[in-house]
């Protein structure tokens, strides 16, 4: 069976621009910051349900904010799933926005608005991509499911309950994760998993061991210091070479596979220069570079201090012994680390060294999730991306450095996220003036369409 020429799909996708912009505007107008915008989240979920039903899907909602489940079963052998989320990051300082974050605004070849690129724009593109293929070949070559949640930026608690209650709805032969696109002539990246993450707050303070209030530093020889105590505890968690030293943590990490290491050696991206340019740094942690640096970013756990708080703040000096101290940490997880086990090991590590007075408060996070880079679906995505992107290279990476609820899906379906550098430049995700290139919308639509067709004919 011949595959529809990509140029034909791209031309047809370009003619869907007005429809895409209308659907995106109808989603963007709802403020959907979780858990803040309860009404906006529900209203946006209803809007997405109407859009999906307009494309012939059977749609239902679960929980609050709703997880949307949509399906179109055509009796095909294979099933494609599309995961998206309609919640967004807070708008931040409105004075930095050149137009309202809650109104799709077109200027300079881009569509601006919160969620334009993360993830309302890609959601619209997936809907239109599936519909385009249905129209081109006179019917879908695969069954299609959509799972769209409203808490990805927050916790995915409703989605977790949905996945537990309806495991069969999570089953598919491949899952488009948020965005799957390619641009002719632009380097691309395919990633088949993501790190997990657990956030931990450490607190020191409280009577009778520490003062009831900040003390005069003249009494520092007598009054216990909460921040010094916290600093000593933190020092046991990483060594001078920035390696994690929590007892037993690194023993949980799965051995690196030959396939994963091969994917790093074949990498031809620009992440090193990108990090240097973005953060204006001259060298990396441990002076790592090349494949070694890629391994640190994509395949190894990390422990970060996100914030420290104690004592005087601002420009003024205060000669005190602070009564309280707090550190906020996050531990990025890789397979086979489990967040609950890691938290227990951290508690034991601190207690073993006498830091029983250091309190721990854990924020629920995400587990690591990974589909093998050799998985047939992942390889199909890469093959399609390489054909579209040529002569540019398409990198294949085993994990994203970031995190998300993919661990709820990988027991049931392979996952892949894919994008081109051209599509991702200057999109300002999580920042003021978030946007998506107009050209990226048609690229996304066309690529989802060709993947839908290829799944039906090429996926063994």
> Using one digit for the tens of pLDDT, what is the confidence trace for 18-30?
999 999 999 999 9
Distances in whole angstroms, Cα of residue 261 to Cα of each of 267, 285, 299, 364, 381: 10, 20, 9, 30, 20
Structure-token pair, residue 248: 């037993």
User: What integer pLDDT is reported at residue 426 of this predicted model?
Assistant: 87
Average pLDDT of span 155-160: 95
- The arithmetic mean of pLDDT across residues 59-83, rounded, is 98
Q: Does position 217 have pLDDT exceeding 70, yes or no?
A: yes
CA distance 201 to 362: 6
Confidence class of residue 460 from pLDDT cuts 50, 70 and 90?
A: low
Of 12-26, 71-85, 261-275, 375-389, the range with the lowest mean pLDDT is: 261-275
Query: Average of pLDDT values for 62-73?
Result: 98
Mean per-residue pLDDT, 237-264: 96
Task: Give residue-wise pLDDT tens across range 90-133.
Answer: 999 999 999 999 999 999 999 999 999 999 999 999 999 999 99
Radius of gyration over alpha carbons of the chain, in Å? Answer: 24
Q: d(Cα 298, Cα 337) in Å, to the nearest integer?
A: 14
Task: Centre a 10 Å sphere on the Cβ of residue 408 and count the other Cβ atoms it contains.
Answer: 22
pLDDT band of residue 423 (cuts 50, 70, 90) is confident
- Lookup: tokens for 289: 């570079």
Q: Using a pLDDT cut of 90, give the percent of the chain over it.
A: 92
Domains of the chain with bracketed CATH:
6-192+371-458 (3.40.630.10), 196-253+300-366 (3.30.70.360)
- The residue length of the chain stands at 460
- 416-432 mean pLDDT: 90
Tens digit of pLDDT for each residue in 435-455? 999 999 999 999 999 999 999
Question: Helix 17-28 vs helix 38-54: angle between axes, to the nearest 10 degrees?
Answer: 150
Name the residue among 47, 10, 5, 81 with its Cα closest to residue 408.
81
Indicate whether 422 pLDDT > 90: no
Please say whether the beta carbons of 112 and 105 come within 8 A.
yes
- Given a cut of 90, whether residue 269 has pLDDT beyond it is no
Q: What is the pLDDT of residue 294?
A: 96
Instruction: Please provide the average confidence, as pLDDT, over all residues in the chain.
Output: 95
Mean pLDDT of 194-223: 97
For residue 393, CA distances in Å to 2, 241, 385, 447 come to 25, 34, 9, 16
pLDDT exceeds cutoff 90 at 398: yes
CA distance 83 to 119: 10
| pLDDT average, residue stretch 275-300 | 92
> Do residues 235 and 353 touch, judged by C-beta distance below 8 A?
no
The model's confidence at residue 1, banded by pLDDT at 50, 70 and 90, is: low
pLDDT at 365 over 90: no
Task: Enter the tokens of residue 278.
Answer: 């973005």
């Amino acid at each position: 069976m011949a595959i529809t020429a990509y140029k034909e799909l791209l031309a047809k996708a370009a003619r869907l621009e007005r429809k895409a912009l209308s659907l995106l505007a109808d989603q963007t107008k709802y403020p959907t910051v979780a858990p803040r915008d309860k009404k906006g989240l529900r209203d946006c979920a209803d809007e997405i349900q109407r859009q999906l039903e307009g494309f012939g899907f059977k749609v239902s909602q679960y929980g609050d904010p709703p997880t949307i489940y949509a399906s179109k079963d055509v009796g095909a052998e294979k099933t494609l799933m599309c995961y998206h989320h309609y919640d967004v990051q807070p708008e931040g300082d409105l004075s930095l926005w050149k137009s309202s974050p809650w109104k799709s605004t077109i200027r300079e070849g881009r569509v601006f608005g919160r969620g334009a690129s993360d993830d309302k724009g890609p959601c619209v593109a997936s809907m239109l991509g599936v519909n385009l293929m249905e129209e081109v070949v006179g019917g879908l070559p695969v069954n299609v499911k959509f799972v769209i949640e409203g808490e990805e930026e927050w916790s995915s608690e409703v989605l977790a309950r949905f996945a537990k209650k309806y495991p069969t709805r999570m089953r598919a032969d491949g899952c488009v994760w948020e965005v799957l696109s390619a641009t002719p002539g632009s380097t691309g990246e395919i990633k088949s998993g993501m790190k997990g993450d657990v956030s931990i707050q450490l607190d020191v303070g409280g009577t009778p061991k520490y003062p009831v209030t900040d003390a005069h530093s003249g009494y520092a020889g007598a009054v216990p210091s909460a921040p010094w105590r916290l600093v000593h505890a933190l020092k046991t968690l990483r060594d001078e070479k920035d390696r994690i030293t929590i007892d037993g943590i690194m023993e949980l990490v799965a051995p690196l596979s030959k396939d994963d290491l091969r994917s790093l050696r074949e990498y031809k991206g620009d992440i090193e220069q990108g990090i240097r340019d973005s953060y204006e740094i001259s060298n990396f942690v441990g002076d790592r570079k090349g494949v070694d640096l890629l391994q640190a970013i994509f395949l190894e756990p990390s422990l970060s201090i996100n914030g420290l708080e104690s004592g005087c703040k601002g420009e003024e000096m205060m000669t005190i012994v602070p009564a309280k101290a707090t550190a906020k940490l996050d531990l990025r997880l890789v397979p086979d680390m489990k967040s609950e086990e890691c938290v227990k090991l951290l508690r034991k590590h601190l207690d073993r060294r006498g830091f029983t007075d250091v309190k721990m408060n854990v924020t629920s996070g995400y587990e690591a999730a990974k589909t093998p880079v050799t998985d047939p679906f992942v390889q199909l995505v890469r093959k399609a991306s390489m054909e579209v992107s040529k002569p540019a290279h398409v990198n294949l990476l085993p994990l994203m450095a970031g995190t998300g609820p993919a661990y709820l899906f990988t027991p049931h379906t392979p996952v892949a996220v894919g994008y081109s550098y051209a599509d991702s430049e200057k999109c300002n995700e999580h920042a003021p003036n978030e946007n998506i290139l107009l050209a990226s919308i048609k690229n996304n639509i066309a690529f989802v369409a060709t993947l839908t067709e290829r799944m039906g004919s090429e996926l063994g």
